Amino acid sequence: MSVYKRIIPCLDVQNGRTVKGINFESIRDAGDPVQLAKFYADQGADELVLLDISATNEERSTFIPIVEAVAAQVNIPFTVGGGISSVETARALLRSGADKISVNSSAVKRPELITELAASFGSQCIVVAIDIRKLGTGWTVHTHGGKRDTGMDALEWIRKVVSLGAGELLITSMDGDGTKTGFALDFYKEAEQLISVPIIASGGAGTIGHFKELFSRTTVTGGLAASIFHFGEIPIPELKKELSKTMRIRTFPTDEHGRTRKFFF
């Protein structure tokens, strides 16, 4: 049976505000994360991702008050990442309302963290985020908000994290981030040959056609984007309507105010 394709807005949070940049730089303000999260849930987003993008570099814990506020406002699943380096921090986030937690730099530093988290909460809760950049004919893994090149081969790393217990991967092309030039289809085609867990593709979304290409030419199940949603370039209802013509996209009826009614099945 074919699976549903998911539309996933990403909220990069810095100092309590949603921000967006290009190639992980040139950051600009995009609004209040709690208000945006509620707006996207009402618009029909399938899931949300909230990333505290400065948590690792500033060596501080993730933003539990924002997680609690988002959980109180939305009725769709959401993943939280940024500065998660222990089972205790992950447990606090899940108790605050997050459905899944995402690890990136901390998993590179200590890969056994993935196994510890999966053993504690189940692989279905564990998303490993991987920031990649093309180097010659391959891709390398970057950490600390894209600021450090680990030198690790990205395809080898994704195979390893899945073997350690990752239940889902969030793979961001740093080259495509904020450029609106399309997803890194060549990488995802290679990745899908190596692993069987769901992949969320991030970096490069700029048109509805980019999502159509992603979902029709790869087995990726999640398409993540930020600026095109934050700045109203592609409304989520319009995107899902177009995609539903050729693939399995969840759509929800609207109420008298134009907000979507959610139910899970």
Q: Catalytic amino acids? A: 12, 131
Nearest to 90 by CA among 121, 112, 69: 121
Exposed/middle/buried for 180, CB within 10 Å: 0-12, 13-18, 19+? middle
Exposed/middle/buried for 3, CB within 10 Å: 0-12, 13-18, 19+? exposed
Strand, coil or helix: what is 4?
Answer: coil
Q: Which conformational region is residue 255 in: left (phi greater than 0), alpha (psi within -120 to 50 degrees), or beta?
A: beta
Q: Give me the count of residues in the chain.
A: 265
Nearest to 115 by CA among 78, 154, 162: 162
